[in-house]
Amino acid sequence: MSEIIVTDTEPLVQITLRVNDVMHTASAPTRRLLSDFLRHELRLTGTHVGCEHGVCGACTVLVDGTPMRSCLMFAVTAQGHEITTVEGLAEQVVDAETGTVTPTMSPVQEAFIECHGLQCGFCTPGFLTTITAYLRENPDPTETEAREAIAGNLRRCTGDQHRVTAVHRAAEGRKGVGGAPLVILPRPTSPLDISNPSPSINASLRAAPAKGLAQTKRYHSVRCCKHAPSQSEHRPRP
Ligand code: FES
């Protein structure tokens, strides 16, 4: 029987993030991508990985409320920040009379179901997070604006028209018109205090790319592949 040689000698760092309002701490190599960290270390597999070059948008998560390509961020750069994945979009509605708290899908999630905004579902998490952030800043988009809002996310099978309709339906849902319940979208909280990270984290942050690299510009930027790490550089796998 051949001997198994462990070649991955990358030092591990402890990374602490708040993901969907829950604090998580896990060890990972400094070059672990945020998308891989969410999926493998935290087992939050709702964030999908498609191109891994910042183009398709499937991996979009909210970092302090801003949509970001998690495949272009190292997990250490998200240290101390508030991350919202598709698993965290669900809301809790409080019945005013009984005080009963009921978990429910967000208006964007409801709208995607209602308007047939998905088929296979692979690209759906990225659309849901992107549209959620977009509607917070643009609660009443025109048709053109709705198309622009989703233009940076590539789809695999569904047509865009259903998604545009879903954006408008979600906007109505947020305002409580059209029969949808009035629910309050969760607002991102302040970033955690990372003013004094450990020396190992400091070194990791210096080695990590600038946060702006992964940010989705006006919700529809297509990130140039030349800025992304090469496959051999950025594919640490557990
Ligand atoms: Fe395609 Fe990240 S996986 S943009």
For 166, counting Cβ atoms within 10 Å of its Cβ (0-12 exposed, 13-18 middle, 19+ buried), the class is buried
Output the six-digit token pair for 188: 């991102």
Residue 206's pLDDT is 42
CA of 100 to the centre of ligand 1 (A): 39
pLDDT tens for each residue of 115-150: 999 999 999 999 999 999 999 999 999 999 999 999
pLDDT at 214 over 80: no
pLDDT band at 102 (very low <50, low <70, confident <90, very high): confident
pTM value is 0.75
To test the pocket of ligand 1, the residue of 59, 153, 217 to mutate (highest count of ligand atoms within 8 Å of its CB) is: 59
**Most confident of the ranges 12-16, 94-98, 100-104, 230-234:** 12-16
CB of residue 54 inside a 6 A radius of ligand 1: yes
DSSP E strands, the chain: 12-19, 22-29, 60-63, 66-69, 82-84, 91-94, 101-104
pLDDT band at 5 (very low <50, low <70, confident <90, very high): low
CB of residue 73 inside a 6 A radius of ligand 1: no
User: What does the pLDDT average to over 13-38?
Assistant: 96
With contact defined as beta carbons under 8 Å apart, do 20 and 83 qualify?
A: yes
With contact defined as beta carbons under 8 Å apart, do 88 and 106 qualify?
A: no
pLDDT band at 158 (very low <50, low <70, confident <90, very high): confident
Q: d(Cα 73, Cα 153) in Å, to the nearest integer?
A: 17
CB of residue 38 inside a 6 A radius of ligand 1: no
CA of 62 to the centre of ligand 1 (A): 14
Mean pLDDT is lowest, of 46-50, 121-125, 139-143, 188-192, for: 188-192
User: What does the pLDDT average to over 46-65?
Assistant: 97
Output the six-digit token pair for 175: 């305002």
Q: d(Cα 227, Cα 213) in Å, to the nearest integer?
A: 8
